[in-house]
Amino acid sequence: MTRTNRPMDPAARRLLTRRSILAASAGAAAALGAVGANVVGTDKPAIAHGQLRAEPLIPERNRGIILYSVRDRISAAPDDSGVPYGFERVLARIAELGYQEVEFAGYTQSTEILGRQITPAEIRKILDDNGLAANGAHASINPATFEQQMDIAETLGMKNIGTGSDPTNSAYTADWDTAADVWNELGRQARRRGLRLYTHNHDTAYSFLLDAGPLDVNGKPTRSSGIRRLEYFFGKTDPRYVFFELDIYWAYVARFKHRKYIDRYGRERTDLFDPILNVVSQSKRFPLFHAKDGNRNSALANGYEMVPLGEGDINFQQFFETIGDADFRHANWEQDTAPGGVTNPGQSLDFAALSYTNMSELTIYRR
């Protein structure tokens, strides 16, 4: 059974206007500019006693990393590079860098390390030994294996279980309706075990549905009402059972790529996607984020090129300050392109160090 037209969170309703978002962002920027603060950087503003106090924008306990970013070193066999390899050594290094949370992207390492595959219980001990907490996982979410995935999540002590794939790759509402029914049921099962079920977006999740206009030879709509796929899914899933992890980089790619659609009358329409509004409109459904950065490059198909956090053009200061609720949000650094291959085996962990430093320097100033 699907659910639609639920009342919006009152806090979200107060914020849900483009004007209020822009005003909040502008106000934040003005306040930071007045005290000389950078968006991300090492320069600190001069703060007169009693005027402003600095607080971390992302609390220390909520700073995480998805292990996909360092997958080359998790999966590496023992070598003489001097770079950590496997779960035990890589997680120890991640903890040294300051991260307190990890999101999993698989539970295997080279069998050359132990002479067999590592177990979830052994991974949990490594987490505990290093003061790390698991905040989620990109796993395969389907009814046939969901119980097994929840068993692993429980062993690792995580509160969220999710996937890096869209609930469906379809552009049609009927397929999203079917996916919503499945996810509502799985989310219900997860909640009974103290877990939150979540899905992670790429840019296509925020492309437009084909839900209007003339039908094709297969009886499928060929035009759009202007509703985006994942935003439709918001309304079809129960907010008690289904949650979301916003990949901030892919959300800004969607803003670049998915801005035009053909309406039911054949007219081209433009609608600019707003990642901040997207979160605010469903605020309590976004506990997790991929803090992934990029440099704008309109010559590329995606409009951005991935770089370490804080080295690109995405305004994380504005983003996290405007969406607020810092205690609820968990930010996991990710960079798909972090591994340096055989020529630079230490690159992914070097990028992890740089990204943690930049994440920790995101600061909010309060009176």
Structural domains present in the chain: 10-366 (3.20.20.150)
Report the amino acid identity of residue 136.
G
Q: Residue 367: what pLDDT?
A: 80
Report the amino acid identity of residue 81.
S
CA 242 to chain centre: 15
Q: Residue 52: what pLDDT?
A: 85
Which two tokens mark 327? Answer: 């205690």
pTM value surpassing 0.85: yes
Q: Residue 366: what pLDDT?
A: 83
State how beta strands 260-262 and 268-270 pair.
antiparallel
Whole-number CA gyration radius for the chain? 21
| Vertex 163 angle, CA 160 and 168, to 5° | 130
Query: How would you write the pLDDT of the chain (367 residues) with one tens digit per residue?
Result: 444 434 344 334 334 443 443 444 444 444 433 333 333 333 445 555 567 889 999 999 999 999 999 999 999 999 999 999 999 999 999 999 999 999 999 999 999 999 999 999 999 999 999 999 999 999 999 999 999 999 999 999 999 999 999 999 999 999 999 999 999 999 999 999 999 999 999 999 999 999 999 999 999 999 999 999 999 999 999 999 999 999 999 999 999 999 999 999 999 999 999 999 999 999 999 999 999 999 999 999 999 999 999 999 999 999 999 999 999 999 999 999 999 999 999 999 999 999 999 999 999 988 8
Q: Residue 200: what pLDDT?
A: 98
Question: Minimal CA–CA distance to 362: which of 318, 322, 299?
Answer: 318
List phi, psi (to 5°) of 319.
-60, -60
Please state the length of the chain: 367
Distance CA 275, CA 221 (A): 27
Contact 254, 203 (CB under 8 A): yes
Which two tokens mark 349? Answer: 């962990």
DSSP string across 124-176: HHHHHHTT-EEEEEB----TTTHHHHHHHHHHHT-SEEEESS-S---SSHHHH
Helices 146-156 and 173-192: crossing angle in degrees, nearest 10, is 50
Contact 259, 272 (CB under 8 A): yes
Q: Residue 48: what pLDDT?
A: 53
Report the amino acid identity of residue 127.
L
